[in-house]
Structure 1
């Protein structure tokens, strides 16, 4: 029996800064590399050809699904296709790809994508998303922006890990927002479009616009989608940014049972409650303990239940240390800072050193 053949398919435009690294890392694990260029004016095409990729051209039409499908059409003779972007680099599991497709029935293979992004305070954090990118022949995409796979096949984790640098110091909202708004005109009751628009507005700190779309998405989605938990977390963040604490508390109360295993939810809830109590000190001081309990729940769940790395480990421990330090509980602060420091979180080590100087 012939072994199934695997192709890489990617769409690019002006990706000279990233493309060589992406192609060099994936080359050993695929039979063919297809780069579909949508109008580059830099060295993207030359870099792709030098790396051994086949280059084809596509006239950009403000439709990511159309471009993705054109790339899939270009490798239609291959049994399986791995879809990557130029700013994504495989860092683990390349050797798994062959074994994964060897005797497998058609399915959608998920890869773990580690995305780095910058917080408002300048700190770099990492989120992990599992997205189906290893596709059997015949699968198609739909959606002008944030395109989705149009298939009902089972989703199976591959064990492949990819690093994505595209969110770091890069603003794609100017491109994405008009495309999403155009989609929404034809589908005003689409919960996913409102969610995606909310994310784009949130990314550029336009919190009022983000709140509008998250509110509508939350009303429409009713927890039915895989992204519903992320919507709740982002909704809480946005309500906090808008000082809409009553609404945030109402949403959190309604969601607490559904989000029992979501460390991101409890982490953001703790931040929200802390800001609320700073502005409106509770009549019962015991209510402040809820903040501490939320971060402790994050630690109970661990990072396997968190999309943002550290919310189930060192970030929660660090916040517990800071919380204890505010209340002048130095032994407890030292304990939590120590936990975060042993996991390599530099700010915790700095706080530990500060506590020693005070002694």
Structure 2
């Protein structure tokens, strides 16, 4: 059975670190914690799980810090997690099974990163991540801001997930790293422009974000999946600026780069719902429901747009079109994912009464 080193970089993570380490206790063979300047109980908590706690002055680069953390690993493979990540029990069991059966020729194991979860336990944002790598390959982290592990070779795409359970959010922290990079006169690559646009959008700088996405789309070295989301995210910015025409144009432009994603199809449905064109909107929501996410997709996936969201919107569309039975049926499908959603409960009661349906 191969051995595994866990590596984590931390700073003031006293509220989450213990939870993270407890979730992998007994599943990894070594824990390495790299502290970059904590002033709370982070180091004390880390030492409850391991003596392998190291100190490193924050270099204004996630990649440099992560490469330093990886340098302390001594086991066959290295597992990376953030302090506010957890391995849920089902995934811990699957991870132990993976260790029991892992072919030593495997260089990289990718896992799902369930970055967002709604109040009903539905995954709201998921993507793949190179998560477990062979130490002897000496793979390096790249990127000062939105870092990635430049791993290659014999890769296994597993169904194991690491779940993000954030308690606090450092508003503007990554945006500030991008700003500093600009001030130093450092050149942005295609990936930088995409994530810079995302940070600008999330911090409400919509016009600047549109410019960053436009630059990203013009780059010939940009990843196709990132271009799809540059279009979708740019459309969100145009909607926030009440430029509905540009919103629709960018959503349709995303089709130029690959098979339409439900994330774009549902938003097109929203566009026509906003315009009161409910029959057209229903067409796009139905198309979203017929679209299936690719389990091997590395870019972002928002499961709501493939499941409950278009159903809930179709409930509205069919009500507006006078088809109460179809409206009720779609609400029932949404209820499978969000049983206590106040809108779903209201729709069920109101439509059920008019259709003469018994309520449980």
TM-score normalised over the length of structure 2: 0.85
Instruction: Specify the alignment match of 2:95 in structure 1.
Output: 94
Offset of residue 100 of structure 1: 5.6
CA distance in 2, matches of 1:274, 1:149: 41
Following the alignment from structure 2 to structure 1, what is the Cα–Cα distance between the partners of residues 118 and 235? 19
Alignment counterpart, residue 328 of structure 1, candidates 322, 329, 346: 322
Question: In 1, Cα distance between the equivalents of 2:13 and 2:326?
Answer: 49
Q: 2:349 aligns with which of 346, 349, 353?
A: 353
Q: 2:335 aligns with which of 309, 319, 341?
A: 341
Secondary structure of the residue aligned to 2:133 is strand
Work out which structure has the larger RCO, using CA pairs closer than 8 Å and 6 or more positions apart in sequence: 2
**How many residues are matched?**
341
CA drift at 1:331: 1.5
1:193-212 superposed Cα distances (whole Å, 9 cap, x missing partner): 12111111222233222222
Distance in structure 2 (CA, Å) of the matches to 1:82 and 1:126? 24
Counterpart in the other structure of 2:217: 218
Per the alignment, do residues 37 and 6 of structure 1 end up closer, same or farther by CA in structure 2, a change over 3 Å counting? same
- How far the C-alpha of 1:99 sits from its partner, in A, is 3.6
**Structure 2 Cα separation of the partners of residues 20 and 226 of structure 1:** 35
1:9 corresponds to: 7
Judge conservation of contact 1:100–1:158 (CA < 8 Å) in 2.
Answer: no
Correspondence 1:260 to 2:267: no
Structure 1 residues 58-69: aligned runs within 5 Å: 58-69=56-67
Alpha-carbon distance, 1:312 to partner = 0.7
Distance 1:341 1:118 in 2: 14
Residue 281 of structure 1: aligned partner: none
Please state if 1:27 is matched with 2:21: no
1:187 Cα deviation after fit: 5.0
Q: Do the aligned partners of residues 102 and 48 (structure 1) sit closer, same or farther apart at CA in structure 2, a change above 3 Å counting? A: farther
26, 35, 39: which one pairs with 1:37?
A: 35
- 2:279 is aligned to 289
Shift of 1:249: 2.7
Superposed CA offset, 1:310-353 (max 9, x none): 21111110110012223332122111111111334423233111
The 3 A distance-change label for structure 1 pair 199 and 292 is same
Asked if 1 retains the 8 angstrom alpha-carbon contact of 2:84 and 2:165, the reply is yes
CA distance in 1, matches of 2:20, 2:103: 24
* 1:140 alignment counterpart: 140
3-state SS, counterpart of residue 74 of structure 1:
coil
Structure 1 residues 253, 174: closer, same or farther in 2, change over 3 A?
closer
Query: Structure 1 residues 322 and 221 mapped into 2: Cα distance closer, same or farther (>3 Å)?
Result: farther
User: 2:216, 2:222 within 8 Å by CA — same for their partners in 1?
Assistant: no
Deviation at 1:292, TM superposition (A): 1.2
* Secondary structure at the counterpart of residue 158 of structure 2: strand
Which runs of 5 or more structure 1 residues have no equivalent in the other structure?
Answer: 279-284
- Residues 96 and 158, structure 1, Cα contact 8 Å, conserved in 2: no
- Alignment CA distance shift 1:322-1:145 (3 Å): same
How far the C-alpha of 1:234 sits from its partner, in A, is 1.3
**Residues of 2 paired with 1:10 and 1:190: CA distance?**
26
Q: SS of the residue aligned with 2:303?
A: coil
* SS of the residue 1:4 aligns to: coil
Q: Contact 2:282 / 2:314 at 8 angstroms: preserved in 1?
A: yes
For residues 45 and 189 of structure 1, the distance between their equivalents in structure 2, rounded to whole angstroms, comes to 35
Q: Which residue of structure 2 lines up, in the alignment, with residue 165 of structure 1?
A: 165
TM norm structure 1: 0.86
